[in-house]
């Protein structure tokens, strides 16, 4: 019987260690690609205005976005399950005051030819 307490304690520690890796994500931006310096070499530059509601980009592209007198850049290395997301999720806080959907077509490097 004196081993039962040890076993319960070990089980609790094991469960704590196992569940610590199961933390709920609060952001999926890592599935959308990564930020790059605005001055970096890019494939395209897109000017976003208050009237811009969506943009079309290709997976693998690096794009500089100009918003007024500010800029940010994003490299669209998206997960296979991602085909669109709101740029507000990846733009610097306060830069975009409205939704701009980024529609991302698959990276042609990874498309197989039939």
Domain boundaries, the chain: 29-110
Token pair 């969506």 in the structure block, residue: 54
DSSP secondary structure, 16-43, as one string: HHHHHTTPPPS--GGGS-EEE-TTS--S
Give residue-wise pLDDT tens across range 66-112.
999 999 999 999 988 899 999 999 999 999 999 999 999 998 887 77
Q: Is the pLDDT of residue 12 over 70?
A: no
What fold does the segment set 29-110 form as a domain?
Immunoglobulin-like (2.60.40)
**Mean pLDDT for the chain overall:** 84
Q: How large a percentage of the chain has pLDDT more than 70?
A: 75
Q: What is the pTM of this model?
A: 0.73
Say if CB 31 and CB 11 are below 8 A apart: no
pLDDT at 114 (0 to 100)? 58
> Per-residue pLDDT averaged across 53-77, rounded?
97
């Amino acid at each position: 019987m004196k081993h039962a307490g040890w076993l319960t304690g070990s089980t609790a520690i094991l469960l704590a260690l196992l569940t610590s890796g199961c933390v709920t994500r609060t952001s999926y931006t890592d599935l959308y690609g990564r930020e790059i310096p605005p001055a970096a070499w890019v494939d395209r530059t897109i000017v976003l205005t208050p009237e811009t509601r969506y943009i079309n980009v290709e997976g693998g592209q690096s794009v500089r976005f100009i918003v007024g007198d500010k800029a940010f850049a994003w490299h669209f290395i998206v997960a296979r399950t991602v085909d669109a997301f709101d740029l507000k999720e990846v733009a610097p806080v306060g830069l975009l005051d409205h939704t701009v959907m980024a529609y991302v077509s698959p990276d042609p490097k990874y498309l197989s030819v039939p």
